[in-house]
Amino acid sequence: MRAVVCRRYGPPEDLVVDELPDPTPGPGELVVRVRAAAVNFPDVLMIGGKYQIKIPVPFTPGSELAGEVTAVGDGVTLSPGERVTGTAFVGAFAEQALLRAELVSVLPDGVDYASAAGFGVTYRTAYHALRSVARVAEGDWVVVLGAAGGVGLAAVDLAVAMKARVLAAASSADKLEVCRRRGAEATIDYDHEDIKTRIRELTDGGAQVVVDPVGGPYAEPALRGLRRGGVFVTLGYAAGTIPAIPLNLVLLKGVTVRGMEIRTFADDYPHEAARDLAELDQMFADGLVRPYIGARFPLAETPAALRYVAERKAIGKVIIDVD
């Protein structure tokens, strides 16, 4: 099979497309013929050796995909030919992927592979952050930083579906226009507007929640834009810098700062994770939420797709078409 391979840590341009042996499933595993895979910012960190956990090289990057089951191991109830979507820490940018059966679900009728591949990681991250971590309520003002990115636009979609009021913050007019089309009530161009001041103006005194997958220089002013007792959820640092928040702000404003990592959330909070996933899957099956796909690349151009995400050009999800 063809697969994208990271042989040494480095930039996306160091990746190669190579021929690898077809995978064979063991007990509790299955093989999926990948039709579409989605690019996430952590993929860029992993190939650069900058993620929280270093994956030993060589490895095939990519964490979410959709396709058809081709082979199953002992104890797996799914059958070859079934249309599925699934997640894995690595391995999605390939013609075939080996997955644990518990991380795979059957696609609802009428859902295309690209939408399914682009739904799993970002929407789970955003929904856990909104539902279980921030406990967003109807009518709450929710500020989403990096609102046009994968996690950001998922957070916009889901907060709107939860009947919150969304203030989307992003770095360009075209990105903010997509956020408005997805239901954001207000927007901030944070490269040209003062974040703290505009949050307070647009939310009549301050937001209840900030969801931040970006970090960098945007985090502290967004936290300052919270109203007393608000919740700030940190999800990642796509801006490239981990911010240092003055703790006196937390004390004086009475706010809560919480972190959420998708890799460990289900282990740390199994009951909340199960509830959230059941609700999210139902929303997806009912067509209430669908990812916005802003760009698509063939498998051979995976390095270009990762560069596109690394340079913060992506709006919504970036998809690798494996066919």
pLDDT tens digit sequence for 57-92: 999 999 999 999 999 999 999 999 999 999 888 999
Q: Looking at residue 240, what is its pLDDT?
A: 83
Question: Is the sign of the CA dihedral 26, 29, 33, 35 positive or negative?
Answer: negative
* Domain presence at residue 308: yes
Cα–Cα distance for residue pair 216/138, rounded to 1 Å? 29
Whole-model pTM over 0.85: yes
CB 24 within 8 A of CB 49: no
Q: How confident is the model at residue 110 (pLDDT cuts 50, 70, 90)?
A: confident
Please check the confidence at residue 109 and state whether its pLDDT lies above 90. no
Residues 74 and 168 grouped into a single domain: no
Mean pLDDT, rounded, for 293-314: 95
Mean pLDDT, rounded, for 269-277: 94
Q: Which domain holds residue 185?
A: 134-259
Most confident residue range from 47-51, 87-91, 136-140:
136-140
Check which CATH number belongs to the domain holding 21 and give it.
3.90.180.10
Check which CATH number belongs to the domain holding 231 and give it.
3.40.50.720
Mean pLDDT, rounded, for 6-19: 97
- For residue 262, give the amino acid letter: I
Q: Looking at residue 307, what is its pLDDT?
A: 97
pLDDT digits (tens, 9 = 90+) for 182-233: 999 999 999 899 999 999 999 999 999 999 999 999 999 999 999 999 999 9
CB 141 within 8 A of CB 147: no
| 32 Cβ neighbours under 8 A, 6+ residues apart | 65, 67, 68, 69, 70, 84, 86, 96, 97, 99, 104
Mean pLDDT, rounded, for 11-26: 96
* Domain presence at residue 127: no
